[in-house]
Homo-oligomer: A and B are copies of this chain.
Amino acid sequence: MRPIAFNILDTMTLDVGAHLRAVRQMYGLSQRELAKRAGVTNGLISLIEQNRVSPSISSLKRVLDGVPMALADFFTLDLAHKPQVFFPKAELPDIGAGRVALHLVGGSLAKRSMAILHEFYAPGADTGEEMLTHAGEEGGVVVRGRIELSVGGETRSLSAGDGYYFRSNLPHRFRNVSREDCEIVSASAPPTF
Protein backbone atom coordinates (compact mmCIF):
# COMPACT_ATOMS: atom_id res chain seq x y z
CA MET A 1 0.00 0.00 0.00
CA ARG A 2 2.01 2.96 -1.20
CA PRO A 3 -0.15 6.04 -1.22
CA ILE A 4 2.41 8.31 -2.78
CA ALA A 5 4.52 8.21 -5.87
CA PHE A 6 8.17 7.65 -5.22
CA ASN A 7 10.71 10.00 -6.63
CA ILE A 8 14.35 10.04 -7.37
CA LEU A 9 15.44 10.35 -3.75
CA ASP A 10 14.32 6.80 -3.20
CA THR A 11 17.26 5.25 -4.94
CA MET A 12 19.58 8.19 -5.04
CA THR A 13 22.50 8.52 -2.72
CA LEU A 14 21.13 11.11 -0.39
CA ASP A 15 23.81 13.74 -0.68
CA VAL A 16 22.46 16.19 1.87
CA GLY A 17 25.76 18.04 1.95
CA ALA A 18 25.98 18.77 -1.75
CA HIS A 19 22.31 19.57 -1.70
CA LEU A 20 22.70 22.15 1.03
CA ARG A 21 25.77 23.62 -0.58
CA ALA A 22 23.91 23.98 -3.87
CA VAL A 23 20.98 25.64 -2.15
CA ARG A 24 23.21 27.99 -0.22
CA GLN A 25 25.17 29.01 -3.28
CA MET A 26 21.94 29.34 -5.23
CA TYR A 27 21.03 32.06 -2.80
CA GLY A 28 24.51 33.56 -2.87
CA LEU A 29 25.21 33.00 0.81
CA SER A 30 28.48 32.19 2.52
CA GLN A 31 28.58 29.56 5.25
CA ARG A 32 28.91 32.26 7.89
CA GLU A 33 26.18 34.37 6.37
CA LEU A 34 23.77 31.47 6.32
CA ALA A 35 24.85 30.36 9.78
CA LYS A 36 24.11 33.82 11.14
CA ARG A 37 20.67 33.92 9.60
CA ALA A 38 19.90 30.41 10.75
CA GLY A 39 21.24 30.91 14.25
CA VAL A 40 23.79 28.12 14.01
CA THR A 41 27.55 28.11 13.71
CA ASN A 42 29.41 28.23 10.45
CA GLY A 43 31.25 25.10 11.51
CA LEU A 44 28.04 23.16 11.41
CA ILE A 45 27.29 24.31 7.90
CA SER A 46 30.77 23.28 6.90
CA LEU A 47 30.44 19.84 8.48
CA ILE A 48 27.04 19.23 6.95
CA GLU A 49 28.19 20.26 3.50
CA GLN A 50 31.12 17.88 3.75
CA ASN A 51 28.74 15.11 4.83
CA ARG A 52 30.83 14.67 7.93
CA VAL A 53 27.68 14.76 9.99
CA SER A 54 24.08 13.88 9.31
CA PRO A 55 22.21 16.85 10.71
CA SER A 56 19.17 16.36 12.86
CA ILE A 57 15.88 17.34 11.35
CA SER A 58 15.66 20.27 13.73
CA SER A 59 19.12 21.45 12.77
CA LEU A 60 18.48 21.15 9.06
CA LYS A 61 15.18 22.92 9.57
CA ARG A 62 16.91 25.80 11.37
CA VAL A 63 19.53 26.02 8.65
CA LEU A 64 16.94 26.04 5.89
CA ASP A 65 14.89 28.64 7.74
CA GLY A 66 17.87 30.91 7.25
CA VAL A 67 17.63 30.63 3.48
CA PRO A 68 14.59 30.47 3.78
CA MET A 69 13.43 27.16 2.41
CA ALA A 70 10.97 24.53 3.59
CA LEU A 71 12.13 21.02 4.37
CA ALA A 72 9.76 19.63 1.78
CA ASP A 73 11.27 21.88 -0.86
CA PHE A 74 14.76 20.85 0.15
CA PHE A 75 14.00 17.19 -0.33
CA THR A 76 11.99 17.60 -3.48
CA LEU A 77 14.49 19.94 -5.08
CA ASP A 78 15.80 18.17 -8.11
CA LEU A 79 19.33 19.32 -8.74
CA ALA A 80 19.84 16.93 -11.63
CA HIS A 81 17.03 18.39 -13.67
CA LYS A 82 17.59 21.99 -12.85
CA PRO A 83 17.03 24.14 -15.90
CA GLN A 84 20.02 25.61 -17.62
CA VAL A 85 20.71 29.13 -16.42
CA PHE A 86 23.93 30.11 -18.12
CA PHE A 87 24.28 30.04 -21.87
CA PRO A 88 27.89 30.62 -22.93
CA LYS A 89 28.29 32.63 -26.08
CA ALA A 90 29.72 29.69 -27.96
CA GLU A 91 26.58 27.71 -27.20
CA LEU A 92 24.14 30.29 -28.51
CA PRO A 93 22.67 29.13 -31.78
CA ASP A 94 22.82 31.68 -34.54
CA ILE A 95 19.43 31.91 -36.19
CA GLY A 96 20.30 34.92 -38.27
CA ALA A 97 21.15 35.14 -41.93
CA GLY A 98 23.19 37.34 -44.24
CA ARG A 99 24.40 40.46 -42.53
CA VAL A 100 22.35 39.81 -39.41
CA ALA A 101 23.44 37.43 -36.65
CA LEU A 102 20.86 36.44 -34.08
CA HIS A 103 22.10 34.53 -31.06
CA LEU A 104 19.24 32.90 -29.24
CA VAL A 105 19.46 32.63 -25.46
CA GLY A 106 17.68 29.71 -23.82
CA GLY A 107 16.76 27.96 -27.02
CA SER A 108 17.27 24.60 -25.36
CA LEU A 109 14.59 25.26 -22.74
CA ALA A 110 11.42 23.37 -23.41
CA LYS A 111 8.95 25.81 -21.98
CA ARG A 112 9.75 29.46 -22.05
CA SER A 113 7.63 32.52 -22.53
CA MET A 114 10.28 34.70 -24.12
CA ALA A 115 13.00 34.64 -26.72
CA ILE A 116 16.11 36.56 -25.75
CA LEU A 117 18.32 37.47 -28.68
CA HIS A 118 21.78 38.91 -28.97
CA GLU A 119 21.63 40.60 -32.34
CA PHE A 120 24.44 41.79 -34.59
CA TYR A 121 23.76 44.00 -37.55
CA ALA A 122 26.64 44.47 -39.98
CA PRO A 123 26.77 47.72 -41.91
CA GLY A 124 23.93 47.70 -44.44
CA ALA A 125 22.13 44.90 -42.63
CA ASP A 126 18.38 45.04 -43.02
CA THR A 127 15.48 42.88 -41.85
CA GLY A 128 13.93 43.60 -45.22
CA GLU A 129 11.77 45.99 -47.08
CA GLU A 130 8.83 43.76 -46.27
CA MET A 131 7.98 44.86 -42.77
CA LEU A 132 7.82 42.28 -40.01
CA THR A 133 4.59 41.63 -38.17
CA HIS A 134 3.82 38.86 -35.74
CA ALA A 135 1.97 38.26 -32.50
CA GLY A 136 3.24 39.33 -29.10
CA GLU A 137 5.50 42.05 -27.87
CA GLU A 138 9.16 42.78 -28.18
CA GLY A 139 11.74 45.14 -26.81
CA GLY A 140 15.46 45.61 -26.49
CA VAL A 141 18.43 47.84 -25.95
CA VAL A 142 21.09 48.96 -28.37
CA VAL A 143 24.45 48.02 -26.90
CA ARG A 144 26.83 49.26 -29.56
CA GLY A 145 26.61 51.18 -32.84
CA ARG A 146 23.48 52.64 -34.33
CA ILE A 147 20.31 51.15 -35.72
CA GLU A 148 17.43 52.62 -37.64
CA LEU A 149 14.20 51.24 -36.30
CA SER A 150 10.87 51.71 -38.03
CA VAL A 151 7.68 50.82 -36.18
CA GLY A 152 4.19 51.59 -37.36
CA GLY A 153 5.31 54.17 -39.84
CA GLU A 154 7.60 56.00 -37.43
CA THR A 155 11.34 55.79 -37.88
CA ARG A 156 14.07 56.57 -35.34
CA SER A 157 17.77 56.13 -35.17
CA LEU A 158 18.84 54.50 -31.94
CA SER A 159 22.37 54.43 -30.61
CA ALA A 160 24.10 52.66 -27.78
CA GLY A 161 22.00 52.85 -24.65
CA ASP A 162 18.72 53.48 -26.42
CA GLY A 163 15.92 51.06 -25.96
CA TYR A 164 12.63 50.13 -27.65
CA TYR A 165 9.46 48.26 -26.93
CA PHE A 166 6.38 47.67 -29.07
CA ARG A 167 3.56 45.31 -29.92
CA SER A 168 4.93 43.05 -32.59
CA ASN A 169 1.80 43.25 -34.73
CA LEU A 170 2.91 46.74 -35.66
CA PRO A 171 4.97 46.45 -38.84
CA HIS A 172 8.62 46.91 -37.94
CA ARG A 173 12.03 46.92 -39.55
CA PHE A 174 15.65 47.10 -38.39
CA ARG A 175 18.33 48.66 -40.56
CA ASN A 176 21.95 49.44 -39.92
CA VAL A 177 22.63 52.51 -42.04
CA SER A 178 25.94 53.27 -40.36
CA ARG A 179 29.41 52.04 -41.23
CA GLU A 180 29.90 50.22 -37.92
CA ASP A 181 28.45 47.03 -36.59
CA CYS A 182 25.40 47.41 -34.40
CA GLU A 183 24.76 45.20 -31.42
CA ILE A 184 21.38 44.79 -29.75
CA VAL A 185 19.91 42.62 -27.01
CA SER A 186 16.24 41.98 -27.44
CA ALA A 187 13.38 39.98 -26.01
CA SER A 188 10.12 38.89 -27.53
CA ALA A 189 7.14 37.19 -26.02
CA PRO A 190 5.76 34.77 -26.82
CA PRO A 191 8.90 33.28 -28.29
CA THR A 192 8.88 33.27 -32.06
CA PHE A 193 12.08 31.27 -32.12
Contacts and interface: CB of A to CB of B under 8 A. Distances in A.
Interface of A: 1-10, 12, 14, 16, 26-27, 53-61, 68-77
8 pairs of A and B residues whose beta carbons are closest in the complex: A54-B58, A72-B75, A54-B56, A10-B70, A4-B73, A9-B72, A9-B70, A71-B75
27 contacts: A1-B27, A3-B26, A4-B69, A4-B73, A4-B76, A6-B70, A6-B73, A7-B73, A9-B58, A9-B70, A9-B71, A10-B68, A10-B70, A12-B58, A12-B61, A14-B61, A54-B56, A54-B57, A54-B59, A55-B56, A55-B57, A56-B56, A57-B60, A70-B75, A75-B75, A75-B76, A76-B76
Contacts of A57: 14, 16, 54-57, 60
Looking at A5, A71, A76, the one whose CB has the most chain B CB atoms below 10 A away is: A71
Contacts of A71: 9, 14, 75
A58 B11 CA distance: 10
A32 to B, nearest CB: 20
- How many copies of this kind of chain does the complex include? 2
Contacts of A75: 70-72, 74-76
B16 A70 contact: no
Given A4-B77, A8-B58, A72-B76, 13 more contacts: A1-B26, A1-B27, A6-B70, A7-B70, A7-B72, A12-B58, A12-B61, A14-B61, A16-B57, A70-B75, A71-B75, A75-B76, A76-B76
Looking at A14, A70, A76, A77, the one whose CB has the most chain B CB atoms below 10 A away is: A70
A74 B77 CA distance: 14
A156 to B, nearest CB: 35
A122 to B, nearest CB: 38
Nearest to A53: B56
A24 B19 CA distance: 27
